[in-house]
């Protein structure tokens, strides 16, 4: 029997490795930017076309490569970062496995120009599908320029699984942010389809965050700093007042490498315990520096997961550090222009000792004493000052006056009763409104409406009766279905009503979020929103749909941005559908809200007037029926 196991050709092995390393254009951007950082570049340009599907170009001014290094960089497991197995536990660079360029060259057209500072000429290499088709000397500035064209040209199945350009561009921007947030001493420039997306000059960490996420970010940041033998923590957390309803700006960097760690995330969230509203998520930008020997970053092909040796200790330190920083923020003096100045002490009295105030009371005062008893002390004083005869006269006059007061309450009562007509005369009186009203419906429908009863159970379900039994309606999903069909119809037909605000609503978003909102402006206006202006740091809204309140606008738009970033389709109709689903999900009545009886009836009637009342927009069931037979079986 012949042997059946054989070694794979290099180009096939490279394509298999590319499946782990290169998942989408953003993966290529990440690897190329990290290579530029490892080369010591201080200025990096990223240029892409069609969300990286057509072109990804990275230009750096790093130390460059020699002719031999330029050729070897595209070979598998060729790296300058490690020489022995022990080096894996003392890594201080981004890449180290030597698979990135080899994997990229296996599924794209790659071109590279590189030159070292002490060389007169550089090296120009062209590779297509792991095959080197050109290598020659060239004139090029110091550093490295690499082009990745026609990604997945020889793996069409992988190319078909890519999302729309908007979604892929969002992933590229995320990877660009993660690299730029760590290396603040590097000047980054980012261009997409010839337009400048970001220009980040070299600066400090706080200013880099402000440049990326907008000018309003500066007031949201609370500095975090702690140094121990196990870990050094620095960075910022967002103030609880600025927490969002969606998971957004949450970043962990370990030894200048972005990582995802649910364990550390839980430590930060637990530090915010008692400071956040329900289902709100804080932002944080935390940089952890640990001994490279205490972590393993080689457990995932994309190197975004890290294994720590002392996870429990790290958890406790991180939680205590964030909690301490938040405590300092709460007690720190701030400029509060809404403070009542009358409560402040004058400057000249700040250092004076506080004395206990003296309180003088009338110990003879009796609140339950009669008027005569209240006058008794004064009468006693008058008795000693005036003759006896005059005192007697005063007392007798006082008693007479007191008697006249209560008798005056009943004066004229007999005369009033004599003028009142007999009780039978009330029938002649005419009332302003009549007790009888004209019904808009016939008698049968009116009686049916009276008999229709809806109950709310556990502030979650609406229960009503039908001929065959009971109907149990999920109030949140039912309202989602009603609003979804309403929003979809309004956006499609452009006939929505907008509720104008007395004062424009000013909301703050990042530059990428504003760009997304601007692209959706037409659809949002058809849904009932009315935008005043778009700026680099926010948006001004003049009108909103009648079904939502002013306080819900920021939450709804944040949720819409999150949904559209994850699932932005190419076609206009699908885009409308995603928008309608997102708006309905945010504006629908939540579980736990008490509804008045009329609102309960109205929601049930609206649900069964929908085109598809059985399902919510997310496909879940909106109501169930319990027949009499099923109820009988229970007994």
DSSP 469-486: EEEEEEHHHHHHHHHHHH
- pLDDT score at 95: 56
Let me know whether 160 and 14 are in one domain: yes
Let me know whether 30 and 157 are in one domain: yes
243 belongs to a structural domain = yes
Integer Cα distance of 5 and 252 in angstroms: 43
> Would you give the distance in Å from CA 87 to the centre of its chain?
41
CB of 366 closer than 8 Å to CB of 373: yes
Token pair of 594, please?
Answer: 């008490």
- pLDDT score at 7: 74
Please tell me what DSSP assigns to residue 7.
P
Give the DSSP H or E segment for 34. helix 25-38
Let me know whether 46 and 122 are in one domain: yes
CATH number at residue 465: 3.30.1370.100
Give the CA-trace dihedral at 76, 82, 88, 92, to 10 degrees: -110
Let me know whether 295 and 159 are in one domain: no
Integer Cα distance of 234 and 286 in angstroms: 6
Let me know whether 31 and 177 are in one domain: yes
Last residue of some domain: 331, 353, 382?
331
Entry pTM: 0.65
Q: Based on the number of CB atoms within 10 Å of its own CB, is 598 exposed (0-12), middle (13-18) or buried (19 or more)?
A: exposed
> Which long-range CB contacts under 8 A does 517-525 form with residues at least 24 apart?
517/557, 517/561, 519/166, 520/560, 520/564, 520/575, 520/579, 523/491, 523/575, 523/576, 523/579, 524/579, 525/498
373 belongs to a structural domain = no
Let me know whether 217 and 196 are in one domain: no
Last residue of some domain: 297, 331, 365?
331
CATH number at residue 162: 3.30.565.10
- pLDDT score at 528: 85
Token pair of 218, please?
Answer: 């500066």
Question: For residue 481, how many C-alpha atoms fall within 13 Å in the half-sphere facing its CB?
Answer: 24
State how beta strands 284-290 and 250-254 pair. Answer: parallel
The boundaries of the domain holding residue 55 are 10-200
511 belongs to a structural domain = yes
- pLDDT score at 92: 58
- pLDDT score at 439: 40
Q: Based on the number of CB atoms within 10 Å of its own CB, is 202 exposed (0-12), middle (13-18) or buried (19 or more)?
A: middle
- Nearest CA-CA partner of 516 in 26, 173, 161: 173
> Would you give the distance in Å from CA 466 to the centre of its chain?
42
Integer Cα distance of 602 and 604 in angstroms: 6
Let me know whether 491 and 614 are in one domain: yes
Let me know whether 223 and 293 are in one domain: yes
Block means of pLDDT (10 residues each) for the chain, 635 residues, are 69 60 86 89 93 92 88 74 56 60 87 90 89 90 92 83 83 91 93 89 91 84 90 91 80 88 88 81 90 69 69 89 82 47 59 76 75 58 52 51 53 51 50 43 44 81 86 91 87 78 84 80 84 83 85 83 65 70 85 87 89 88 88 84
Last residue of some domain: 179, 200, 221?
200
Let me know whether 314 and 274 are in one domain: yes
CATH number at residue 286: 3.30.230.10
Let me know whether 194 and 223 are in one domain: no
382 belongs to a structural domain = no
- pLDDT score at 281: 85
Integer Cα distance of 194 and 592 in angstroms: 50
Domain count, the chain: 3
399 belongs to a structural domain = no
496 belongs to a structural domain = yes
> Which long-range CB contacts under 8 A does 117-126 form with residues at least 24 apart?
117/63, 117/64, 117/142, 119/64, 119/66, 122/64, 123/65, 123/66, 123/67, 123/70, 123/71, 125/70, 125/71, 125/74
- Nearest CA-CA partner of 142 in 53, 22, 260, 36: 36
Within 8 A by CB and 6+ apart from 7, the residues are none
Let me know whether 306 and 213 are in one domain: yes
445 belongs to a structural domain = no
Let me know whether 489 and 458 are in one domain: yes
123 belongs to a structural domain = yes
């Amino acid at each position: 029997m012949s042997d059946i196991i054989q070694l794979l050709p290099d180009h096939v092995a490279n394509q298999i490795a590319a499946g782990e390393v290169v998942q989408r254009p953003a993966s290529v951007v990440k690897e190329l930017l990290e290579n530029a950082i490892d080369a010591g570049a201080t200025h990096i340009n990223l240029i892409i076309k069609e969300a990286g599907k057509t072109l990804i170009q990275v230009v750096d001014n790093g130390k460059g490569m020699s002719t031999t290094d330029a050729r070897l960089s595209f070979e598998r497991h060729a790296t300058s970062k490690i020489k022995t197995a022990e080096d894996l536990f003392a890594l201080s660079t981004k890449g180290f496995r030597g698979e990135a360029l080899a994997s990229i060259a296996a599924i794209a057209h790659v071109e590279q120009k590189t030159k070292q500072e002490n060389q007169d000429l550089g090296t120009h290499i062209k590779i297509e599908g792991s095959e080197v088709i050109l290598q020659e000397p060239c004139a090029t500035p110091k550093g490295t320029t690499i082009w990745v064209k026609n990604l997945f040209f020889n793996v069409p199945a992988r190319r078909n699984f890519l999302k729309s350009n908007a979604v892929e561009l969002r992933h590229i921007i995320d990877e660009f942010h993660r690299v730029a947030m760590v290396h603040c001493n590097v000047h980054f420039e980012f261009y997409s389809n010839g337009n400048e997306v970001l220009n980040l000059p070299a600066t400090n960490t706080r200013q880099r965050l402000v440049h990326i996420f907008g000018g309003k970010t500066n007031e949201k940041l609370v500095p975090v700093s702690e140094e121990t033998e196990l870990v050094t923590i620095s960075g910022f957390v967002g103030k609880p007042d600025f927490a969002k309803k969606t998971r957004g700006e949450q970043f962990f960097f370990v030894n200048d490498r972005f990582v995802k760690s649910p364990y550390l995330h839980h430590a930060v969230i637990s530090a915010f315990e008692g400071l956040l509203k329900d289902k709100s998520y804080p932002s944080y930008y935390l940089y952890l520096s640990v001994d490279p020997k205490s972590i393993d970053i080689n457990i995932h092909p994309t190197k975004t997961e890290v294994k720590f040796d002392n996870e429990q200790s790290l958890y406790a330190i991180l939680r205590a550090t964030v909690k301490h920083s938040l405590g300092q923020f709460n007690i720190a003096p701030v400029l509060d222009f809404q403070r009542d100045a009358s409560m402040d002490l004058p400057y000249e009295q700040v250092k004076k000792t506080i004395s206990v105030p003296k309180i003088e009371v009338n110990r003879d005062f009796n609140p339950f004493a009669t008027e005569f008893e209240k006058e008794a002390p004064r009468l006693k004083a008058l008795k000693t000052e005036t003759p006896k005869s005059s005192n007697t006269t005063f007392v007798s006059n006082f008693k007479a006056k007191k008697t006249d007061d209560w008798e005056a309450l009943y004066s004229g009562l007999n005369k009033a009763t004599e003028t009142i007509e007999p009780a039978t005369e009330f029938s002649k009186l005419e009332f302003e409104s009549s007790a009888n009203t004209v019904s808009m419906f016939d008698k049968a429908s009116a009686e049916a409406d009276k008999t229709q009863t809806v109950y709310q159970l556990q502030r979650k379900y609406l229960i009503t009766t039908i001929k065959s039994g009971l109907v149990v309606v999920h109030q949140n999903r039912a309202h989602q279905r009603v609003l979804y069909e309403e929003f979809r119809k309004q956006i499609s037909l452009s006939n929505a009503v907008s509720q104008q605000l007395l004062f424009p609503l000013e909301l703050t978003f990042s530059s990428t979020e504003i760009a997304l909102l601007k692209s959706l402006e037409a659809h949002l206006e058809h849904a009932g929103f009315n935008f005043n202006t778009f700026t680099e740091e926010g948006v001004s809204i003049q009108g909103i749909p009648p079904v939502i309140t002013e306080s819900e606008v920021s939450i709804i738009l944040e949720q819409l941005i999150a949904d559209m970033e994850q699932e932005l389709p190419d076609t206009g109709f699908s885009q409308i559908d995603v928008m309608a689903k997102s708006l309905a999900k945010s504006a629908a009545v939540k579980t736990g809200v008490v509804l008045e009886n009329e609102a309960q009836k109205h929601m049930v009637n609206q649900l069964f007037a929908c085109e598809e009342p059985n399902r919510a927009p997310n496909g879940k069931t909106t109501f169930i029926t319990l027949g009499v037979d099923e109820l009988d079986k229970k007994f």
